[in-house]
Amino acid sequence: MPISIVRIKRRLVRGGDYQRFRPLSGPCRDFTLAATLLLTVAALGDAPSTPHKSQPRYVTKSIRGRVVWLYEAMSRLHGVKPVPDAGDRILALEAADGRLYPIFEDIRGRAFRRDERLRKMEVELDVREYAGSPMVQILRVYELTDEGKFDVDYWCEICSIAMFELKECECCQGPIELRRQKLADPVNE
């Protein structure tokens, strides 16, 4: 036979366990409410009056120069002698003012390692500069010439697919070629 809710309540009252679950009443309740309110106000008083703005993780900017091997540029510009096996490890963009921007090697950065032709170009790179890191991540590559500014990537003529580094086509596994697309000249106003 099922026990009714009334019987359960009676047993709790008789057994004394019900006292533990009885809601606060009287002076205890008033004291608890006052203490809770006081602690809440105190905690809010420590909060800043203006919301804290988080710093951006990175800044996007354009830099111009030539991509070089970092060890070679440090040796040439600053007289630092690298160890023999330092060789072709880290790429950097050398700006006209001599500043070096080490390049993080993802797909776009690795293109400069794989294709020597890119290292011979005067380039403008759209990059991300991450807070707390000296390295830049390449987003876009432009070649700068007397003829104008060219968007640089790799192209498979068979599949009509653009890629960002020299390798076999991702689709047909055939050869791809370096592609330069002239950007429209800005309108002089």
Spell out the SS3 assignment of 81-118.
CCCHHHCCCCEEEECCCCCEEEECCCHHHHHHHHCHHH
CB 128 within 8 A of CB 59: yes
Q: How confident is the model at residue 174 (pLDDT cuts 50, 70, 90)?
A: very high
CA distance linking residue 12 with residue 8, whole number of Å? 6
- Domain extent, residue 176, equals 58-182
Q: With pLDDT > 90 as the criterion, what percentage of the chain qualifies?
A: 63
Task: Kindly state the average pLDDT of the residues 139-143.
Answer: 98
- Residue 1 placed within a domain: no
Helix, coil or strand: residue 27? helix
The CATH code of the domain that includes 63 is: 2.40.50
Mean of the per-residue pLDDT values for the chain?
A: 84
- Residue 93 placed within a domain: yes
Q: How confident is the model at residue 56 (pLDDT cuts 50, 70, 90)?
A: confident
> How many structural domains are present in the chain?
1
CA atoms within 13 A on the CB side of 108: 16
Instruction: Please say if the pLDDT value at position 25 is more than 80.
Output: no
Cβ neighbours around 93 below 10 Å, total:
24
Instruction: Please say if the pLDDT value at position 108 is more than 90.
Output: yes
Instruction: Please say if the pLDDT value at position 118 is more than 90.
Output: yes
- Residue 30 placed within a domain: no
Q: Which residues pair with 61 in a beta bridge?
A: 127
More confident residue, 168 or 28: 168
What is the pTM assigned to this prediction?
0.68
Q: How confident is the model at residue 77 (pLDDT cuts 50, 70, 90)?
A: very high
- Residues sharing a CB contact under 8 Å with residue 104, sequence separation 6 or more, in sequence order: 135, 136, 137, 138
- Residue 13 placed within a domain: no
- Residue 24 placed within a domain: no
Q: How confident is the model at residue 189 (pLDDT cuts 50, 70, 90)?
A: very low
